[in-house]
Amino acid sequence: GRPRQLSLSPHFILAYSLASAPEFDPYKVLGVSRHASQAEIKKVYKRLAREWHPDKNKSPGAEDMFIKITKSYEILSNEERRANYDRFGQMDENQNFARAPQGFRHYHDSFYFDESFFHFPRTSRDFTDSKHLFHYNQYINEVLPDSFKRPYLIKITSEWCFTCIHIEPVWKDTVQELEPLGVGIGVVDIGYERQLANHLGAHRTPSILGLINGKVTFFHYAVVREHLRQFVESLLPQKLVEKVTDNSYFEFLNSWHEENKPRVLMFDVASNIPLLYKLTAFAYKDYVRFGYVDMGLTETSKVVQRFNINTYAPTMLLFKENTDKPADVIQARGMKKQIIDEFVSNNRFLLVPRLVNQKLFDELCPVKQFHRRRKYCVLLVTGEGEQFVSVNEAFFDFASSNTKEVLRFAYVYQRQQQPLCDTLLKKEDTTPPQVILLERRSATGRVLYRTVTGGWNGSDDDKHRLLEQLELLQRDPSYLTHDAMLPELNNEFASMFLIQWINTAYDYLAQFYFDLLYSNWREMMPILSLIFSALFILFGTVIIQEMQHGCIEHPLLSTYILQQTNPKETILTSSRRSQTLHYSFLNVDKHSQWMDSLMESAPDARPSDCLDKEEEEEDSTSNKSDYTGHVLALNGHKKYFCLFRPVFTGEETECSRWSDEDAATAGPSKASRSRSSSRQKATTLEIHHKLDRLGLWMERLMEGTLPRHYVPAWPGLDTITPQK
């Protein structure tokens, strides 16, 4: 009556645990086939992400489903991860989907461990890390260009990095603090994105690095939130925001004309410039100049009183051409990035900016796309002298009273942009100052334009005439009658790039010195290897060129091997390749006449006694010279060649063994008795026997110890021996 106890073997328990583990299939989650293209997967992901996003879908399982959708897209959108899943399976956060490699299936099918059974603590990637994951193509095409507008903080991790657990709380707090300020956040899984990790120079986990202006900098301090914040701040260029006091604010505001940029004054009670302001200044450094006023200092009381600033809330004033009155103001206790971005972006151009480069022209006067989005550029062609001051001020007054979204006002100095002005003024043969109405039609430079009749002197009549023609243009776009292709604008600030380049070079050298002192050598090895490799190649090339003489001289040396496999074809054989030698071949049947001409042009290529014997042979027999297996090393520019004659194994006379190698080693006494006339026997022997000593000849050729046979001119290859 005692109840029976069911005994389960460990093997059975493991198998049961494996069978009960829930299955995760990214194809089923997204509802696509295993042969779906990337375009189909992306389209389905966008639709499902909108449907299941927790902000829009309030059902209890929406967040879990959204995470599954995101995880599935991470796997299937990356070709490497997708291939790994198709082959082995993929690991998810809650269960193990990895399968054993095919070569070990016979062992692991009957015995492998499921993680859920043992409850091992392993790293799990939360939703925050998932949305910040970087792929190689995404990094190259999106993140790298964006690093010129904002810095990035990137964490290098892996799926099984147990030490990464210790920095997770600090990393999350740092992300929550810095991301709202505008810092880019990235996560690179070194297990899946090995190519990207190698590109960044990251070889261990965990690692943290910064990216700005396309430059990668590693973080070398203790992972503390304050250290990470200081690290991001140190990435930003120096003097990005100028500190302004009572003595310097007037000069700061009035320098808009030289830099052609609006000015922003930020008022706050803090001795250090807030990171939010620095990030904003970096994002808009090409458009706006930023200054900071610490309202807690006595040296700033006058400027605070001058603009009637409320000291209880941060304030931002934006000035354009009028330095007495700000063009726009924002004031808020909790200054947010979105508010600041909108404030600066809407005021990033002066009211009447000067066209100083092509980039400004493209943004100020964009190419027409749709009829309702037409942008007409009202351009004043003027000069820099005092006689143009009143004219320019009148144009600015007119622009100030006619601010319409469809109109963009600008001016250009004829002396600075001569090609542009010549193109616009040549048809009507007018001289500055002139006002031109234009509309850009293509990014290549095509515009429609028309010069305002009557010129521009800044009088009331001129203003009235310009207003009438602008109203006519807005009613009838065909009013622009001239068509032209504008040249690219000169960069008037090109001279300033030298100073910027010097500052950038200094930053790189300083960073290199820092890395040399504090980085581990593994991170520095690629740079040092590149430097020493370049030096080795440079000096090695010079030394080799100095040591090479003889036949190995530039211009290029060509090696011709005449070898007969059958009476009708030839092949090229060589045992080595060289950047100095170019290999080719000549056909014995077709080019024997060319060889005869070459030998006649260089009598010293044959011994005198062999020449006499050959003349007797040619008189007594009708056989022509057999050049099968001969090798020529030709220097086309200096008109000389080195000659190798084949060496036959078997019955042969001394003369058949003659070559330049023998002449270089044995001297004239041996050369005079080293040739015979047994060519017919030679043709019956195997080909490789004819080239037995070619390797030794090639070594002498590379050493430059072979004699040179000079010719007055190369015989023409157009002369072909007729076939019999």
Predicted pLDDT at 553: 42
**pLDDT higher than threshold 80 for residue 698:** yes
Predicted pLDDT at 575: 38
**pLDDT higher than threshold 90 for residue 709:** no
Say if residue 530 is in the same domain as residue 473: no
What pLDDT digit, counting tens, does each position of 219-272 carry?
A: 988 888 899 999 999 999 988 899 999 999 999 999 998 889 999 999 999 888
Say if residue 478 is in the same domain as residue 515: no
> Distance (Å, rounded) from C-alpha 506 to C-alpha 513?
11
Residue 353 lies in a domain: no
Predicted pLDDT at 23: 65
Say if residue 461 is in the same domain as residue 402: yes
Q: In sequence order, what E strands does 572-670 have? A: 581-585, 631-635, 640-644
At residue 464 the predicted structure's pLDDT band, cuts being 50, 70 and 90, is very high
Q: Last residue of a domain, which of 235, 260, 281?
A: 235
3-class DSSP state for residue 468? helix
Residue 656 lies in a domain: no
Predicted pLDDT at 524: 58
> Distance (Å, rounded) from C-alpha 459 to C-alpha 474?
23
Say if residue 290 is in the same domain as residue 391: no
> Distance (Å, rounded) from C-alpha 59 to C-alpha 99?
34
Predicted pLDDT at 706: 86
Asked if residue 444 lies in contact with residue 485, where contact means CB atoms within 8 angstroms, the answer is yes
Say if residue 390 is in the same domain as residue 290: no
CATH number, position 380: 3.40.30.10
What pLDDT digit, counting tens, does each position of 382-402 carry?
A: 988 888 999 999 999 999 988
Residue 119 lies in a domain: no
At residue 368 the predicted structure's pLDDT band, cuts being 50, 70 and 90, is confident
Predicted pLDDT at 15: 38
What pLDDT digit, counting tens, does each position of 146-175 carry?
A: 999 999 999 999 877 777 888 888 999 999
Of 8-22, 84-98, 248-262, which has the strongest mean pLDDT? 248-262
Residue 260 lies in a domain: yes
What is the pairing mode between strands 184-189 and 152-157?
A: parallel
> Distance (Å, rounded) from C-alpha 331 to C-alpha 316?
6
Say if residue 227 is in the same domain as residue 262: no
Domain that holds residue 59: 26-88
Quote the mean pLDDT of the chain.
76
Residue 702 lies in a domain: yes
Asked if residue 628 lies in contact with residue 637, where contact means CB atoms within 8 angstroms, the answer is no
Residue 622 lies in a domain: no
Predicted pLDDT at 710: 87
Mean pLDDT throughout 429-451? Answer: 87
| 13 backbone dihedrals φ, ψ, rounded to 5° | -65, -45
Predicted pLDDT at 568: 37
Higher pLDDT, 513 or 418: 418
Query: Counting beta carbons within 10 angstroms of the beta carbon of residue 529, is it exposed (0 to 12), middle (13 to 18) or buried (19 or more)?
Result: exposed
Predicted pLDDT at 229: 92
| 318 backbone dihedrals φ, ψ, rounded to 5° | -115, 125
Predicted pLDDT at 123: 43
Say if residue 340 is in the same domain as residue 315: yes
* Percent of the chain surpassing pLDDT 90: 27
Residue 642's nearest CA partner among 719, 574, 553 is 553
> Distance (Å, rounded) from C-alpha 19 to C-alpha 14?
9
> Distance (Å, rounded) from C-alpha 628 to C-alpha 570?
9
Say if residue 231 is in the same domain as residue 273: no
At residue 649 the predicted structure's pLDDT band, cuts being 50, 70 and 90, is low
Predicted pLDDT at 128: 56
Domains in the chain, number: 6
Asked if residue 465 lies in contact with residue 392, where contact means CB atoms within 8 angstroms, the answer is no
Asked if residue 190 lies in contact with residue 197, where contact means CB atoms within 8 angstroms, the answer is yes
Among 119-123, 132-136, 196-200, 423-427, the minimum mean pLDDT is found in 119-123
Say if residue 255 is in the same domain as residue 228: no
Say if residue 144 is in the same domain as residue 156: yes
Residue 5 lies in a domain: no
Residue 431 lies in a domain: yes
Say if residue 265 is in the same domain as residue 220: no
Mean pLDDT throughout 350-354? Answer: 93
Say if residue 512 is in the same domain as residue 485: no
